[in-house]
């Protein structure tokens, strides 16, 4: 059971023991102990490459187009969570949310590094979207050579997001994009998916 589920269970118990000072006192102590548990995302952290920061992103859409959300997570080289971020878009597409999740992860880690006085750092970004990983690793280079046009001369979809990703990526001393299979028990990818769905679920209340 992870920290989030433990805290949720404690909260439920507090409601059940409302008015029982002894029980509430014991639950408060248990809650403090739970805060000292290692973060579940960090505990399962096992990067395959060396980097200063590890970024994870995801996007979701209910209806395509429809209401959507994105999520981003950053870990340092010790596996400690630096931030979790997510947000809602009232009318979007799945691809736009996947791109936005990656872009926000990059922008937020740059802000973090600036605040911490960190310069010349490397990062690895993991996504379950081949649209994002292949786009950043391959397609965008050819699009740029053709003046941001596809091989048939047609327009690149989501062009402004791609241009933003390209521009922001150049602010890193080293940035790699990696694809991971979605819904395959990858802890950070699963957490991003969870954050996306939490945002969408809240929007329906």
Active centre residues (catalytic)? 58-59, 98, 128, 183, 193
Report whether 156 contacts 175 (CB < 8 A): no
Report whether 67 contacts 200 (CB < 8 A): yes
Q: How far apart are CA 134 and CA 136, in angstroms?
A: 5
Q: How far apart are CA 109 and CA 151, in angstroms?
A: 33
Q: How far apart are CA 133 and CA 59, in angstroms?
A: 13
For the residues of 24-48, what is the DSSP string, one character each?
HHHHHHHHHHHHTSPPHHHHT---S
Q: How far apart are CA 167 and CA 154, in angstroms?
A: 22
DSSP assigned state of 144:
H
Report whether 90 contacts 55 (CB < 8 A): no
Q: How far apart are CA 22 and CA 3, in angstroms?
A: 23
List residues bridging with 70 in a β-sheet. Answer: 59, 87
Quickly tell me which residue has 């402004």 as its tokens.
160
């Amino acid at each position: 059971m992870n920290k989030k589920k433990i805290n949720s269970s404690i909260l439920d118990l507090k409601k059940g023991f409302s008015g029982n000072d002894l029980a509430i006192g014991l639950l408060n102590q248990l809650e403090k102990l739970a805060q000292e548990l290692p973060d579940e995302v960090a505990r399962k952290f096992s990067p395959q490459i060396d980097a200063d920061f590890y970024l994870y992103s995801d996007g979701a859409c209910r209806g395509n187009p429809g209401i959507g959300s994105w999520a981003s997570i950053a870990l340092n080289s010790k596996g400690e969570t630096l931030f979790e971020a997510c947000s809602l878009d009232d009318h979007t597409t799945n691809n736009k949310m996947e791109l936005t999740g990656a872009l926000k992860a990059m922008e937020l880690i740059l802000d973090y590094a600036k605040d911490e006085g960190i310069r010349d750092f490397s990062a690895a970004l993991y996504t379950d979207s081949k649209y994002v990983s292949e786009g950043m690793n391959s397609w965008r280079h050819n699009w740029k050579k053709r003046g941001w046009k596809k091989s048939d001369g047609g327009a690149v979809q989501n062009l402004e997001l791609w241009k933003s990703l390209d521009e922001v990526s150049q602010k890193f001393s080293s940035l790699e994009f990696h694809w991971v299979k979605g819904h395959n028990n990858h802890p950070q990818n699963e957490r991003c998916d969870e954050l996306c769905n939490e945002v969408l679920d809240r929007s329906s209340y």
